[in-house]
Amino acid sequence: MCDGIVIINKPRGLTSHDVVYKIKKLAKKKVGHTGTLDPIATGVLPICIGEATKISQFIISQDKKYLAEIKFGIRTDSFDITGNVLEEKKFIYDEKKILACINNFVGEYLQEVPIFSAVKFMGKKLYEFARAKIDVELKKRLAKIYEIKFIKFVAPDKIWIEVKCAKGVYIRSLCNDIGNFYGCGACLNNLIRIEAGKFLIGESISLNRFEFLFENNLLDKKIIKIDRALDFKKVIVSDVAKKFLYNGNKIDVKFVLGDEKFFDKEKFLVYDENKKLIGIYVRQENFLQPIRMFSGVN
């Protein structure tokens, strides 16, 4: 099996780490995910295998798109349906009010981080305080939401919305905030991640399908190579620079072949003259400085 990215459609009930463990057990290579999905969530979970684990930080930083089902009239401590109920109120459906409510959260706003999350506070993860029933002041951080679309109403108390957002947005928190703004409380009932950067749910496979393809030596057809997973420019460095190229040293820009223009501090993929991927570099003045080096990647 070659190194690269495989897009898993995460099933409900498993953590992202559960998925990593199952794939690592089969692949017997280094494996990592690119952005946590809660157990309640399903959908796009890009999994990095082998050398591709070195690019996870670049994939995590990409925008996301979700389908979320919001249940009104209930608030929970986890901001989703799996949590303990804190309050219940009557919900009266008003589509105009719903539309005005969800549009209020398009743009940037300070979002409360859920207490049941892996965000660290005083050296510990927030969920550790929650499980120990220790009250802490919940952090707020900037959430960037590009678009929220109303999809449909599901009687008697649920709606589906589509959310396009930047990294780090908690959809659970968004549902809780929408419910508070509406006036009766709400929580996340279902969540499907349909896009993570350039990775789409239509290209994803189930864990069972992954296992079948792996056992039948067919998985390489579903592996996305490292350079296809990144939208960086590509440059080739001449063989004259070999002694610098394979040792992780910076390289003078004069060794770059062709007339590709790139700017100071811009990231790009560097190949040798045999079109072998060497690494991710950044231009710093007149030099190419390596950020990530790859071995055995074609």
As annotated, the active-site residues are 38
Rounded CA-CA distance 72/158 in Å is: 6
Q: Which residues contact 171 (CB under 8 A, 6 or more apart)?
A: 66, 68, 163, 188, 191
Calpha distance 298→295 (Å, rounded): 9
Could you tell me whether strands 233-236 and 267-271 are parallel, antiparallel, or unpaired per DSSP bridges?
parallel
Residue environment code for 194-214, b if the CB has 16+ CB neighbours within 10 A, otherwise e: bbbbebebeebbebeebeebb
Pairing, β 41-49 against β 186-196: parallel
Separation of alpha carbons 164 and 247, rounded Å: 41
CB-CB contact of 160 with 149 (8 Å): no
Phi, psi at 2, each rounded to 5°: -80, 160
Give 175's strand partners. none
CA distance 200 to 161: 18
